[in-house]
Structure 1
Amino acid sequence: MAHSEDKAAAQNETLADTRVDSFLVREGRAIRPDLHRARFGAGYPALDDAPQHGEWFPRVMVGGAVWRPAPQLRTETTLWVPPTPDPRIHPLTKGPDLALLGTLRAEAQSHGADDALLYGEDGVVHEAANAALVFFDEEGPAMGPANWVLESTTLRATVEAGLMPKPRRAEIRLAEALELQAWCASALHGWTRVTRWIVEGKIVQAAANTADPKNTKTGRINAQLWESAVDVTAR
């Protein structure tokens, strides 16, 4: 029994040490850094070395951060549907599966997409490899099962600001997903419309996005979130 407890403790410690966080920082400010700190948990660094000018995309780890220049931001997203289901081992913790997700994104980009869709062996959609995914149907916004979806700081900030109703949890299967309007939520790109899917090498145009036909609503939400941005060191 003691050996099993020691092994479990060691595994938990390893899991904690591989946590990461990342988000857009503009002129030393960020959207809801408190949510990132809370999701990460113990060991989150102070970020006192944050650059005060320019746009940055830090990789935050236990004990410090690597300050990387922010890549070019996008306003629309193309998602690639891989032939195999979600490979993550720790879907509710950001970091331990980072290499797997990086490989998926690279493969998605090789197919002309921005990111990869994650779905279960049962065909139920989880989220994107590097973003939350919200669908819109007759009942309003919906997203994948809670036990497979990483908590999205961007989504939570949006809901708490009163800019979107809280999405309900739903089992949306691949075939249905391709017929629904969808938005991605990323701490780097903000909210972006899904405009295309790439399935088995073929481009599938996304459903007519009446929720945001010209990116005006996603752009407005992003702008409103940035209006309330605070110093990245804020707790």
Structure 2
Amino acid sequence: MRSWTWDPLRREFVSGGATGELRLADSWFVGDGRVRAFERHRRRFSKAALELGCTDADSTDFCSALIDLIPRSGEWFPRVEVLGDDEPALGFRLRPVPSRTDELDVWIPPFSDPRQHPKTKGPDIGRLGELRTRAHEEHRCDEVLLVDEHGFAVESATSSLLWWEDETLCVPHPELAQLPGVTTSLIQDEARRRSIRIEYRRVRPSDLLRHEVWLVNALHGIRRIRAFSGQLNCECARATKKFWEWKAWLAVQMTLV
């Protein structure tokens, strides 16, 4: 992994990672220089970075320099970030891509969402990473479903939650504390374009069992939840033709940056 830090005086990235507490992060999958919805990722990151006082995050210089660091060959999973407290610094990490999958098993912990900043990607990454390690080691699961204090499903540790009720695409209610996911926004926009009905709902994990349930993010695209473990121990509905059609559609949304 290589790291760079933004130099606001030289208006360029310099080799070496910034230090300090992770305040903000955004990441995306790169395949031969192609990224899905890069502009949406850029806007989400720059908006949050501006709130932390990193005005350069929205500058043309920063965006151009960031794009120059994205490789034009191979598969990667880079991350742009804000670190530090008093004088937060902008950074960029070029990471190899992890294994990508189509389906997964999900652990439902016996406690509510532990995040302290549920609407900001970054500050809780370490905490969520520990939860995913526990899910893997203790329950042989790949992910963790986060539920709020009332027992409503919100999202997973790394992905947005979607599910289908017949031909209706269902999304967790916007009043639930969740990240503004880029991939889920793409899918919802395409559903509207296809005149597919979208419903925003509050559901408990047990309500999801008879439905096709997806977890979606920039790295994996769309994954189907195969089974739950923990508070529930059961398999979910099998993948339908719809699952493979949407995965194929999402795969062609990659464009050169």
Does the pair score TM above 0.5? Answer: yes
Q: Secondary structure at the match of 2:216?
A: strand
1:163 Cα deviation from its structure 2 partner = 6.2
Q: Is 1:159 matched with 2:179?
A: no
Q: Secondary structure at the match of 1:191?
A: strand
Matches of residues 139-154 of structure 1 in structure 2 within 5 Å? 140-147=168-175, 148-154=177-183
The one-letter amino acid paired with 2:252 is E
Task: State the distance in 2 between where 1:183 and 1:32 align.
Answer: 19
Matching residue of 2:235: 205
1:17 Cα deviation from its structure 2 partner = 6.7
- Residues 153 and 164 of structure 1, relative CA distance in 2, 3 Å threshold: farther
Tell me the TM-score normalized by structure 1. Answer: 0.81
The one-letter amino acid paired with 2:126 is A
| 1:18-62 per-position Cα deviation (integer Å, ceiling 9, x unaligned) | 110111110111001011111112426532211111110112114
Q: Is the 8 Å Cα contact of residues 168 and 197 (structure 2) preserved in structure 1?
A: no
Q: Is the 8 Å Cα contact of residues 227 and 234 (structure 2) preserved in structure 1?
A: yes
Q: Is the 8 Å Cα contact of residues 143 and 170 (structure 1) preserved in structure 2?
A: yes
1:139 Cα deviation from its structure 2 partner = 6.8
Q: Is the 8 Å Cα contact of residues 28 and 78 (structure 2) preserved in structure 1?
A: yes
Q: Secondary structure at the match of 2:104?
A: strand
Task: State the distance in 1 between where 2:118 and 2:188 align.
Answer: 22
Q: Secondary structure at the match of 1:18?
A: strand
The one-letter amino acid paired with 1:229 is M
Matching residue of 1:88: 115
Q: Secondary structure at the match of 2:97?
A: coil
Q: Is 1:123 matched with 2:128?
A: no
The equivalent position to 1:33 in structure 2, one of 27, 31, 38, is: 38
1:225 Cα deviation from its structure 2 partner = 2.6
The one-letter amino acid paired with 1:106 is T
Matching residue of 1:222: 247
The equivalent position to 2:74 in structure 1, one of 40, 48, 54, is: 54
| Higher strand content, 1 or 2 | 2
Matching residue of 1:177: 208
Tell me the TM-score normalized by structure 2. Answer: 0.75
| 1:203-227 per-position Cα deviation (integer Å, ceiling 9, x unaligned) | 4111x23xx33xx533432332332
Task: State the distance in 2 between where 1:27 and 1:163 align.
Answer: 29
Q: Secondary structure at the match of 2:70?
A: coil
Matching residue of 1:6: none
Structure 1 unaligned spans of 5+: 1-15
The one-letter amino acid paired with 2:250 is L
| 1:48-87 per-position Cα deviation (integer Å, ceiling 9, x unaligned) | 2111111101121142311111011101021101111101
The one-letter amino acid paired with 1:122 is H
Q: Is the 8 Å Cα contact of residues 167 and 197 (structure 2) preserved in structure 1?
A: no
| Percent of pairs with identical residues | 32
Q: Is the 8 Å Cα contact of residues 79 and 194 (structure 1) preserved in structure 2?
A: yes
The equivalent position to 2:100 in structure 1, one of 33, 58, 73, is: 73
| 1:147-183 per-position Cα deviation (integer Å, ceiling 9, x unaligned) | 3121111111123334684642211013212333211
Q: Secondary structure at the match of 1:107?
A: helix
If asked which structure has higher relative contact order (CA below 8 Å, sep 6+), I would say: 1
